[in-house]
Amino acid sequence: MYLLLGRSDHARNCRAFRLFARRSSIVVRTAWAFAFAILVIVVWAATGPKFHYSDTWQLIINTGTTIVTFLMVFVIQNTQNRDGKAIQLKLDELIRALKGARNKLVDLEDLSDEELKKLEKEFQRLHKQSRETDTQVAKTESRR
């Protein structure tokens, strides 16, 4: 798609979708959106007898909910990706700014699964050592 559009068109479309996704995620998480969804279902159910619970009547709710779900997948994914990236950047900045923190922990999301597993085992080992140290300190203090 990027090749079909010029750079400025692509950037404009990305910005427009980002704004749409952000606003949509704000709207759909409100109580009003939930109330609207309930209202749609109640109206649909109430019209059942009028349409004799026909296949077309059922198709309306099935199609509507399928389309909304399909579109919301992209909106939610976009919003989560942006939020996740923002959180990662904030954490990276905190790691970078803290004295004594290991800067190699910045950009962990780019490591391979094996590298992440190795790091996880290291932190589990550190946690276990810390717990053992705390237990020894508590025993020493209780003897006093």
Residue 13 lies in a domain: yes
Question: Cβ of 21: how many Cβ atoms within 10 Å?
Answer: 20
- pLDDT for 4 equals 58
Mark whether 26 and 59 lie in a shared domain. yes
- For residue 3, pLDDT over 60 is answered with no
Instruction: Give the three-class secondary structure for 72.
Output: helix
- Whole-model pTM: value is 0.60
At 73-128, the pLDDT tens digits run 999 999 999 899 899 889 888 888 888 888 878 878 888 889 889 988 998 998 88
CA distances from 30 to 42, 99, 115, 122, 142 (A): 19, 41, 40, 42, 53
**Number of domains present in the structure of the chain:** 2
Residue 25 phi/psi, 5° resolution? -65, -30
Mark whether 72 and 138 lie in a shared domain. no
Q: Contact, 1 vs 10, CB < 8 A?
A: yes
Mark whether 118 and 103 lie in a shared domain. no
Mark whether 62 and 92 lie in a shared domain. yes
Question: Could you tell me the residue range of the domain that residue 123 belongs to?
Answer: 111-144
- For residue 1, pLDDT over 70 is answered with no
Mark whether 86 and 139 lie in a shared domain. no
Distance CA 67, CA 72 (A): 8
Mark whether 61 and 21 lie in a shared domain. yes
Residue 2 lies in a domain: no
DSSP-derived secondary structure for 75-124: HHHHHHHHHHHHHHHHHHHHHHHSTT--GGGTTGGGS-HHHHHHHHHHHH
Q: How far is CA 84 from the centre of its chain?
A: 6
Mark whether 35 and 90 lie in a shared domain. yes
Encoding tokens for residue 133?
């140290």
